[in-house]
């Protein structure tokens, strides 16, 4: 163990042998941090990943320089499919200890396969979009997006959980159970998955109980309607006597005809009239529904027309931007400038030169190809370079430079939640409340699943 002030090797004494600072409380904090790290390691070995995350977060909270805990937390995040959070922890770890740090190998390993890395970051963005759909009540779109996410990145546990929750809402319990079992296969003690499974079992038990009660009631009703048989039947003594002559028979027939006509008049004809009335009312209801459907369709067409008008205005604005007020193509100029910088091996400047360029607005296919080449070769590296500079400035208390570098890092890579967070922290240290609130708002809007969300929401709500 080394002194936090002078980095000298500590002894059993309560003071540093080199600088003499009191290290008794520091030793206790380091020991507590290591204890939580060991607990997190034990949980990770038995695939209790969510439990391991909690223990490792506590370890880092006590001692932010616990490199082993931070690197292991990144590995657990990676195993849970959240590669962006994993990279965030490894980059911080690398900035704390640049030399001899396994985090460097982890970062290189992830970024070496650029296609896979882009696929994973895309699935995270789709998950965030699905979460927004679900919160807005657009459950069908959320389900469609989550199916794509799960097929591309089945280890993203939060996507599996959200898809299972949507299936539970639609009472598709077998599908929900399938995704929850997939979560538990990766993370054995995932609390949320276990809770969802418990809810499914309770609902199925309740259904089974209701079905049994309904069956019992039906059986009792059938028993009540069952005709008597055998000794249960008591036949009354017949009082019928044969008529004495044919006149009485004719009278009885006439009386029967009259009674039958009366029954037809009072029972069958009113029933027929009621049937015609019901059919008439049903026709009116159908016409009303068709009319309502036509109104809804008309409103939908009007909404589409308004949307087309807005897109037209946006395209006209974009065309004006592309053409430029002086007739020069600003976007092409930016791409050419970036190409010159890229040829000069100034990758960071090249990335920043095209950071604001919308590739879909470029008028030439050759320009789009050049943009994609430069972007693919420089954006990620530039974002990492600017982030490293920003964090070095941040830890050196040079918050002005830190805010500048970190803001530029986010501009090059819109998935860098860590860059946005530390840019906001830098502005807080500079007492620039508006800028700090603006970057915290980005976390609230774009990174709802990051570990920085709670702090960002508290700051935005309190300022």
Work out the end-to-end distance of the chain between its first and last CA atoms, rounded to an integer number of angstroms.
41
Binning pLDDT at 50, 70 and 90, where does residue 327 land?
Answer: very low
Q: How many angstroms separate the CA atoms of 359 and 345, rounded?
A: 22
Please check the confidence at residue 325 and state whether its pLDDT lies above 60: no
Q: Do residues 131 and 125 touch, judged by C-beta distance below 8 A?
A: no
pLDDT computed for residue 288 by the predictor: 64
Q: Which of 27-36, 309-318, 380-389, 426-435 has the highest mean pLDDT?
A: 426-435
Domains of the chain: 24-112 (1.25.40.10), 118-203 (1.25.40.10), 330-462 (1.25.40.10)
Inform me whether the pLDDT recorded for 326 exceeds 50.
no
Token readout for 110 is 């992830």
Q: What is the pLDDT of residues 1-27, one digit of tens each?
A: 677 667 677 767 777 777 777 767 877
Q: Indicate the angle between helix axes 417-429 and 83-96, nearest 10 degrees.
A: 50
Residue with the bigger pLDDT between 77 and 118: it is 77
**Residue 26 pLDDT:** 77
Angle (CA) 399-59-180 rounded to 5° is: 105
Q: Which residues contact 318 (CB under 8 A, 6 or more apart)?
A: 358, 361
Q: How far apart are CA 72 and CA 42, in angstroms?
A: 11
Q: How confident is the model at residue 212 (pLDDT cuts 50, 70, 90)?
A: confident
- Cα angle for residues 281, 285, 287 (degrees, 5° grid): 115
Q: Does residue 261 surpass a pLDDT of 50?
A: yes
Residue 280 banded pLDDT, cuts 50, 70, 90: low
Q: Check residue 120 and give its pLDDT.
A: 79
Q: What is the pLDDT of residue 76?
A: 92
Low-confidence winner among 171-180, 192-201, 348-357, 377-386 (lowest mean pLDDT):
348-357
Q: Among 80-89, 401-410, 452-461, where is mean pLDDT lowest?
A: 80-89
Predicted confidence (pLDDT) per residue in 217-237, tens digit: 776 776 666 665 555 555 555
- CA–CA distance, 298 with 293 (Å, rounded to integer): 9
β-bridge mates for residue 15, sequence order: 22
Q: Residue 267 has which token pair?
A: 């029972």
Amino acid 351: pLDDT: 77
Give the Cα separation of 340 and 345 in Å (integer): 9
Range picked from 4-13, 114-123, 245-254, 278-287 for highest mean pLDDT: 114-123
Q: Give exposure, 173-207, as e/b (b: 16+ Cβ within 10 Å).
A: beebbebbebbbebbbebebbeebbeebeeeeeee
Angle between helices 139-152 and 114-135 (to 10 degrees): 160
Q: How far from chain centre, in Å, is Cα 454? A: 16
CA distance 33 to 61: 8
Q: Which of 109, 44, 37, 90 is nearest to 66 (CA)?
A: 37
Alpha-carbon separation of residue 324 from 329, 363, 371 (angstroms)? 6, 13, 19
Q: Longest C-alpha distance within the chain, in Å?
A: 139
Sequence length of the chain is 463
Pick from 59, 300, 408: which is nearest to 51 by CA? 59
* Residue 9 bridge partners (DSSP): 2
pLDDT at 6: 73
Which 3-state string (H, E, C) describes the chain? CECCCCCCECCCCCECCCCCCECHHHHHHHHHHHHHHHHHHHHHHCCCHHHHHHHHHHHHHHCCCCHHHHHHHHHHHHHCCCHHHHHHHHHHHHHHCCCCCHHHHHHHHHHHCHHHHHHHHHHHHHHHHHHHHHHCCCHHHHHHHHHHHHHHCCCCHHHHHHHHHHHHHCCCHHHHHHHHHHHHHHCCCCHHHHHHHHHHHHHHHHHHHHHHHHHHHHHHHHHHHCCCCHHHCCCCCCCCCCCCCHHHHHHHHHHHHHHHHHHHHHHHHHHHHHHHHHHHHHHHHHHHHHHHHHHHHHHHHHHHHHHHHHHHHHHHHHHHHHHCCCCCCHHHHHHHHHHHHHHCCCHHHHHHHCCCCCHHHCCCHHHHHHHHHHHHHHHHHHHHHHHHHHHHHHHCCCHHHHHHHHHHHHHHCCCCHHHHHHHHHHHHHCCCHHHHHHHHHHHHHHCCCCCCHHHHHHHHHHC
**Mean pLDDT computed over 411-419:** 87
């Amino acid at each position: 163990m080394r002194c936090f002030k002078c980095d000298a090797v500590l002894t059993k004494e309560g003071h540093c042998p080199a600088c003499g600072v009191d290290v008794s409380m520091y030793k206790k904090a380091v020991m507590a941090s290591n204890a939580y790290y060991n607990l997190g390691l034990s949980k990770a070995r038995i695939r209790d990943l969510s439990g391991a995350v909690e223990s490792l977060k506590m370890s880092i909270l006590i001692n932010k320089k616990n490199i082993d805990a931070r690197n292991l937390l990144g590995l657990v995040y990676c195993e849970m499919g959240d590669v962006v959070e994993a990279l965030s922890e490894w980059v911080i770890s690398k900035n704390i200890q640049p030399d001899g740090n396994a985090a460097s190998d982890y970062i290189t390993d992830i970024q070496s396969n650029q296609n896979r890395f882009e696929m994973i970051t895309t699935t995270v963005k789709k998950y965030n979009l699905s979460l927004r759909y679900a919160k807005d009540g657009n459950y069908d779109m959320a389900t469609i997006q989550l199916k794509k996410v799960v097929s591309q990145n089945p280890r993203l546990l939060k996507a599996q959980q959200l898809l299972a929750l949507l299936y539970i809402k639609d009472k598709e319990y077998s599908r929900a159970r399938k995704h929850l079992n997939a979560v538990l296969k990766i993370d054995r003690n995932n609390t949320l998955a276990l809770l969802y499974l418990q809810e499914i079992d309770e609902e199925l038990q309740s259904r089974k109980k209701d079905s049994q009660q309904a069956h019992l009631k039906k059986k009792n009703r059938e028993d009540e309607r069952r005709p008597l048989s055998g000794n249960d039947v008591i036949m009354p003594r017949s009082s019928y006597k044969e008529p004495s002559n044919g006149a009485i028979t004719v009278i009885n027939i006439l009386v029967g005809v009259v009674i039958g006509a009366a029954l037809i008049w009072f029972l069958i004809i009113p029933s027929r009239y009621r049937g015609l009335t019901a059919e008439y009312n049903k026709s009116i209801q159908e016409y009303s529904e068709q009319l309502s459907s036509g109104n809804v369709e008309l409103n939908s067409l009007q909404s589409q027309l308004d949307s087309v008008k807005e897109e037209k205005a946006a395209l006209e604005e974009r065309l004006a931007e592309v053409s430029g007020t002086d007739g020069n193509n600003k976007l092409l100029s930016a791409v050419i400038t970036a190409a010159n910088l890229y040829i000069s091996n100034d990758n960071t400047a090249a990335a920043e030169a095209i950071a604001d360029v919308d590739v879909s607005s470029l008028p030439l296919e050759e320009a789009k190809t050049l943009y994609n080449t430069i972007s693919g070769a420089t954006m990620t590296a530039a974002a990492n370079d600017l982030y490293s500079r920003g964090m070095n400035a941040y830890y050196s208390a040079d918050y002005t430079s830190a805010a500048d570098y970190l803001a530029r890092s986010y501009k090059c890579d819109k998935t860098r939640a860590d860059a946005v967070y530390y840019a906001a922290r830098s502005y807080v240290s500079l007492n620039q409340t508006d800028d700090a609130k603006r970057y915290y708002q980005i976390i609230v809007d774009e990174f709802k699943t990051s570990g920085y969300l709670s702090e960002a929401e508290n700051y935005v709500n309190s300022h």
